[in-house]
Structure 1
Amino acid sequence: MNEAHLHLLLNHTPILGCLFGLIVLGIGLGKSNTAVVRTGLVALLVAAALCLPTQLTGEGAEEVLAGTTGISKALVHAHEEAAELGFWALELTGVLAMLALLLPQRERLMIRLTVAGAVLSFGLLARAGNLGGQISHPEARAGYVVPAARPTER
């Protein structure tokens, strides 16, 4: 298993973990259920922790793909920049979630900031994921036209 494969295995965890944590947190806030709110905060902490190995394997994945025909350096660069921004947003969100758990006197403010951070993080990470998919999936690129079926495929 090379770093590109490892990166592909890991890259969905921060995105989906952030979404899961945000949904659980929203449910907990909507029902005024402290245990569910705390579960959502912990889920966001886990997503932030899982974002680190995903980020670290990205550089190795780039090296594995270097020189591969059909791989756009511009797309790789755009994905890398978007992923770094999403990474730092989710790490900050993880810190806010931890503060919400550890500082009960500031919990309300920290939870609000965590929700805002999670929404921002999810959007940034989803964009990074979409850009990453375009690197080796031309069907995910804007303007892709599905080729006509060959007679043997009908």
Structure 2
Amino acid sequence: MNDAHLHIAINHLPMIIPMIGLLVMIGGLLTKSEIVKRVAFCLFILGAITALPANATGEGAEEIVEKLGISHDIIHEHEEKAETFALIMYGLGLLSLVGLWANLKQKGFAGIVTLVVTAFSVVTLYFAQQTGNSGGEIRHTEIRKDFKLPKGGEHKDEKKGVKD
């Protein structure tokens, strides 16, 4: 497994885990279940931890895709977004540690921290989407903003009137 493959395998975790964490947190808020909220905090912490290897494998992946002729500008844009997302994920992880501690110790401010973490997770997911989309654009030209479908790109059988 090379660095690019490793990066692709790992980089989805810090994007997916906070989504699940947000759903769990909403469930905990709706049911007023402290245990469910704690699970959500743990998921956010896990997401922050997975951002470390996702970010660390990016350089090796960059070296490989640059040799494939991918535009450095597209790679650089993704790298910038990924660095911002990683910092935000680390922030979510730290806030979640505080939230978990406050919840376990039944501190008076635990409810406020829970709401702050929930709101911050929504912001985090926005940056996850931006990072994921820019990463996808590296190899999937069809999702780039400037993509234009080439003329004459129809399926061969469609030209002959043959249907699948």
The TM-score range, normalised by the shorter chain, is over 0.9
Q: TM-score, normalised by structure 1?
A: 0.93
Q: TM-score, normalised by structure 2?
A: 0.87
Let me know the Cα RMSD of the aligned residues. Answer: 1.4
Taking the aligned partners of 2:100 and 2:133, their CA distance within structure 1 comes to 32
Aligned to 2:113: 110
Paired AA for residue 31 in structure 1:
T
Paired AA for residue 86 in structure 1:
F
Aligned to 2:133: 130
Match of 2:142 among 123, 139, 143: 139
Deviation, structure 1 residue 65: 1.6
Q: Does 1:149 align with 2:148?
A: no
Structure 2 gap ranges (5+): none
Paired AA for residue 93 in structure 2:
G
Query: SS of the residue aligned with 2:20?
Result: helix
Tell me, yes or no, if the aligned pair for 1:83 and 1:128 is still in contact at 8 Å: yes
Taking the aligned partners of 1:150 and 1:36, their CA distance within structure 2 comes to 50
Structure 1 gap ranges (5+): none
Tell me, yes or no, if the aligned pair for 1:90 and 1:117 is still in contact at 8 Å: no
Tell me, yes or no, if the aligned pair for 1:48 and 1:93 is still in contact at 8 Å: yes
Deviation, structure 1 residue 58: 0.5
Paired AA for residue 136 in structure 2:
G
Aligned to 1:33: 33
Deviations 1:55-103 (A, max 9, x none): 000011001122322x111111110010111111111111111111112
State the structure with more CA Rg: 2
Identity rate of aligned residues, in percent? 32
Structure 1 moving runs of 4+ over 3 Å: none
Paired AA for residue 107 in structure 1:
A
